[in-house]
């Protein structure tokens, strides 16, 4: 299977899982705005797919979200079989994606850095310490 076809299937699968997740898990008492399907990777034989999911919030909320995902996995797989014409319906495996949380931590660290240029005077770097112009 060509890489471009696999890429298209992965994107289609990601969108479909996200859509089904909201349809199947609505009313479960989970803030679905905190749940994001970030990636889906289907195996070469189309029988298995790893779905990366990011859950913003506490560790307990993330554990609860993944318990619900596992409980609703058969219904989500059935929806994929109904909505996407593939040779096989892939068995889904949900994994946690912490890249969004890592990005939030880095942004927070950047925000807490002191301003450049000395002891908080708000001035730029001293003339003898200026950086060279970008190339």
Identify the CATH number of the domain in which residue 97 sits.
3.30.300.20
- The backbone torsions φ and ψ at residue 91, rounded to the nearest 5 degrees and listed phi first, read -80, 125
Tens of pLDDT, residue by residue over 36-86, are 999 999 999 989 999 999 998 888 988 999 999 999 999 999 999 999 888
Residue 43 is assigned to a structural domain of this protein: yes
> Is residue 126 scored above 60 in pLDDT?
no
Query: What is residue 119's predicted lDDT score, i.e. its pLDDT?
Result: 54
Residue 131 is assigned to a structural domain of this protein: no
Residue 26: partners with Cβ closer than 8 Å, 6 or more residues away: 32
* Paired tokens of 86: 């593939």
> Is residue 96 scored above 60 in pLDDT?
yes
Q: Are 71 and 83 in contact (CB under 8 A)?
A: no
| Sheet of 91-96, strand order | 35-42, 48-55, 91-96
The span from the CA of 50 to the CA of 92, in Å, is 6
The pTM of the full predicted model, rounded to 2 decimals, is 0.71
Query: What is residue 131's predicted lDDT score, i.e. its pLDDT?
Result: 63
> Is residue 100 scored above 80 in pLDDT?
no
Q: Which domain holds residue 58?
A: 3-112
The span from the CA of 22 to the CA of 44, in Å, is 27
Domain count, the chain: 1
Band (pLDDT 50/70/90 cuts) for residue 121 is low
Residue 124 is assigned to a structural domain of this protein: no
DSSP 40-101: EEE-TTSSEEEEEEEE-S-HHHHHHHHHHHHHHHHHHHHHHHHHS--SSPPEEEEEE--HHH
Residue 127 is assigned to a structural domain of this protein: no
Instruction: Determine the 3-state secondary structure of 36 from DSSP.
Output: strand
Residue 84: partners with Cβ closer than 8 Å, 6 or more residues away: 12, 13, 16
More confident residue, 133 or 125: 133
Residue 107 is assigned to a structural domain of this protein: yes
């Amino acid at each position: 299977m060509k890489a471009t076809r696999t890429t298209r299937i992965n994107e289609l699968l990601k969108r479909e899982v996200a859509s089904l997740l909201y349809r199947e898990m609505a009313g479960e008492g989970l803030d679905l705005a905190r749940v994001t399907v970030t990636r889906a990777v289907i195996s070469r034989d189309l029988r298995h797919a790893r779905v990366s999911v990011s859950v913003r919030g506490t560790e307990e909320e993330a554990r609860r979200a993944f318990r619900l995902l596992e409980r609703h996995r058969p219904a989500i797989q059935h929806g994929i079989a109904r909505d996407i014409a593939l040779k096989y319906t892939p068995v889904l495996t949900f994994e946690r994606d912490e890249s969004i949380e890592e990005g939030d931590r880095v942004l927070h660290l950047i925000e807490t850095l002191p301003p450049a240029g000395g002891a908080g005077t708000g001035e730029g770097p001293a003339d003898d310490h200026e950086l060279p112009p970008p190339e």
